[in-house]
Amino acid sequence: MEVLIFAQTLYYFVVSLAIIVLGALFTIITYHLIHITKHLQNISDNLNDTSDELKKRIEEVIERLASLPILSYFLKKDDGHESHSSRKKRS
């Protein structure tokens, strides 16, 4: 009878310890996921800022290329089609 009591006590002790360990692991994993999410948000914001800056630079390059005599023929607006830079100026 004493063996059964000891086995039951040992079982409850091991299960309780396993639940505590799993809870600690879950807390650690949650902390790291939140940390990673914050870093990904910062990276996304930086990419968005860079994207806006890149769009402005590309528009400047297109405007400079449009001023060249050879390329101005291809970049000028057609009857039914407008170039990207002329649409942007109207907005």
User: How distant, in Å, are the alpha carbons of 22, 28, 40, 49 from that of 43?
Assistant: 31, 23, 5, 10
pLDDT tens, 6-56? 999 999 999 999 999 999 999 999 999 888 888 888 888 888 888 888 888
What is residue 84's predicted lDDT score, i.e. its pLDDT? 52
- Report the half-sphere exposure of 19 (CA within 13 A, side-chain side): 6
Spell out the domain ranges in the chain: 23-90
Mean pLDDT in residue range 65-90: 60
Q: How confident is the model at residue 79 (pLDDT cuts 50, 70, 90)?
A: very low
What is residue 67's predicted lDDT score, i.e. its pLDDT? 79
Comparison of pLDDT for 82 and 59, the residue scoring more: 59
